[in-house]
Amino acid sequence: MNILVTGASGFVGKAVLAQLAANPGGGLRAAVRRPLQMPAAVESVVVGDLATSTDWTPALAGIDVVVHAAARVHVMKETAADPLAEFRRVNVVGTLALAKQAADAGVRRLVFVSSVKVNGEETTPGKPFTVLDAPKPVDAYGISKLEAELGLQQIGAACGMEIVVVRPSLVYGPEVRGNLLTLLQWIRRGLPLPLGGIDNQRSFVALDNLVSLIRVCVTHRAAANQVFLAADGEDLSTTELIRRLARGMNRRARLFSVPAGAFHSMASLFGATAMSQRLCGWLQVDNSHARELLDWSTVVSVDDALASTARHFARTARP
């Protein structure tokens, strides 16, 4: 089986490529925006940006399965005048152009790395997102991922190409970015954090666990035309997450408690309402569909994966 991985230099794509290269079962090719050093077992093809005009012909030649991890990712500090248009240009139009060319090239299956943001931004306590829930994306990134999913499913149905959608919850691991990196920086600086009494529950997925699910989706017959939610299976409060990250860095979590209403008010004064929601809100994900249909199980515990993330940050962070 010959596999093409897009977004091969990104956080998820690079990890998928490394795992596939370590356990080769056929040809392995990486699609990249610019020339990059790749493992010896990996053929690299420069395709440029993910766009409607991208010519995927050399990358798709002889390929059986595409793992599509390339995307315009969730942006912490958005600068685009029209964020939704920018996300659509890359994540929808660019993805569907790839899918059409893949179908024409005879690709059998496309595994699409989507996002739990397709389901929404928060859950009711004790009622996690499931694959049966109607999508309710809120932000431009989530909307673009849903539109890409729907477009891929239409192409797959018309052309006979199998589409597999994986929606990860927040992904963490060494070299993590975004909100988790911000937490790591706060902990390392020893900042007192008013997050000592956050009684929420949020789902996360370790990079190794996400990659293991994607690998199963590449080959498992039952994965065809299915949607899977990716999560570790152990949910954490923000307070507990900070404590475990601090433990991984051999630091003390300097936490104190403030009422939730006061915290939200304080965050809004600094223009951090969205971050406040993510720190205090609930977002739980039910991964049982993948466990039951694919007989998939996680390969690393939450404790070990968080400790690995924290240790890597402590080793590599600049003073």
Please identify every residue annotated as catalytic: 141
* Distances, alpha carbon 22 to alpha carbons 35, 70, 104, 237, 277, in Å: 21, 21, 30, 35, 39
Q: Which amino acid is at 175?
A: E
Q: How far apart are CA 91 and CA 88, in angstroms?
A: 5
Q: Got the DSSP string for 186-240?
A: HHHHT--BS-TT----B-EEEHHHHHHHHHHHHH-GGGTT-EEEE--S--B-HHH
Characterize the bridge pairing of strands 28-32 and 109-113: unpaired
Q: How many CA atoms lie within 13 A of 278 on its CB side?
A: 14
Query: Position of tokens 């569909």?
Result: 289
Is the distance from CB of 160 to CB of 106 less than 8 angstroms?
Answer: no
Give me the residues paired with residue 165 across strands: 112, 227
- Give the whole-angstrom CA distance, residue 292 versus residue 297: 9
List CB contacts of 49: < 8 A, sequence separation 6 or more.
33, 90, 94
C-alpha distances in Å from residue 130, one per residue of 146, 199, 201, 280, 284: 15, 22, 16, 21, 9
Give the type of residue at 195: L
| Contacts (Cβ under 8 Å, ≥6 apart) of 147 | 88, 91, 92
How far is it, in rounded angstroms, from Cα 180 to Cα 76? 12
Cβ–Cβ under 8 Å, residues 218 and 64: no
